[in-house]
Amino acid sequence: MVQIRTYEPFMTKARDDRLKKVEEAYEQFKKDRTFHFPTWLYGEPLGKLFKVEVEDCPRFGDTAWLEFDSARTAFLVIDMQIDFCGKKGYVDVMGYDLSLTAAPIKPIRACLDAIRGTDIKVIYTREGHLPDLSDCPFNKILRSKIIGNGVGIGDTPPGGLGRLLIRGERNWDIIEELYPMPGEYVVDKASKGAFHQSTMLQQLLNIFPPPTHLVITGITTDVCVHTIMREANDFGYWCLLLKDCTGATDYGNYEAAIKQIKMQGGVFGWVSDSKRFIEAVKGAGLK
């Protein structure tokens, strides 16, 4: 006979305590449709609380609200580099429509204008590789060379600004319209995600107070943005994507990526837009 092992009984108390908090939050959500900032988990707010309206939550067609503590909120600007949304950069050389990846520039800038000077932290990411390409997989370079008709990662295109997706090159850097201000954070990564091949997690843990909620913007929606959002979600961060502050090289992929986030009541987080986010920030009187 196979004996079924049960978990140690001392684990029951912690489980019951957590489920009690979940039940309390569920009952509160039914009353006001709000995912409240859980003070039992993080402590009392250190900044100002503000609520952002989110769409299609928990089901498509529904509306809910996500509550933030401004002091524990980080605003992520993912890969807004010349290589991905500027002329003579990687995406341009690959032959994609730059208007799709450049579309988020103005909405992101509006959000930055609204939060700079508040206690909301701003964190940028840049994707790029070492000059010797030792951190870039062989198949990634090969794919880029094929789609670029002989010009790929590490090459300088005719009339280009520098070697594509190589750290230190002009085309690798963040576009001028969204360039970081003194005191803002920049995380360099050699991958589509940021929690594996970068210092992202360490940065988040070392900021005081450590962020619990992330507002996510940048490009591309279906690749780096989605990967980072999924990673952050697995670490327990409350993730809000601003849909007009992100874009992809293919509009169908953009739409699909947004829809995926909304599935299962928000499987990777929540979706809103810059207008609702800015209204919430200004309504809380953060500045």
Maximum separation of any 2 CA atoms in the chain, in Å: 74
| Token reading at 166 | 């190589």
Q: Is 224 a catalytic residue?
A: yes
Q: Is 69 a catalytic residue?
A: no
Return d(Cα 15, Cα 164) in angstroms, integer: 50
Catalytic residue among 51, 56, 69, 79: 79
Catalytic residue among 51, 88, 121, 189: 189
Query: Is the Cα dihedral 237, 243, 246, 248 positive or negative?
Result: positive
CB-CB contact of 68 with 213 (8 Å): yes
* 3-class SS letters over the chain: CCCCCCCCHHHHHHHHHHHHHHHHHHHHHHHHCEECCCHHHHCCCCCCEEEEEEECCCCCCCEEEEEEEHHHEEEEEECCEHHHHCCCCHHHHHCCCHHHHHCCHHHHHHHHHHHCCCCCEEEEEEECECCCCCCCCHHHHHHHHHHCCCCCCCCCCCCCCCCCCECCCHHHCECHHHCCCCCCEEEEECCCCCCCCCCHHHHHHHCCCCCCEEEEEEECHHHHHHHHHHHHHHCCCEEEEEEEEEECCCHHHHHHHHHHHHHHHCCCCEEECHHHHHHHHHHCCCC
Catalytic residue among 136, 224, 239, 245: 224
Catalytic sites, residue numbers: 79, 189, 224
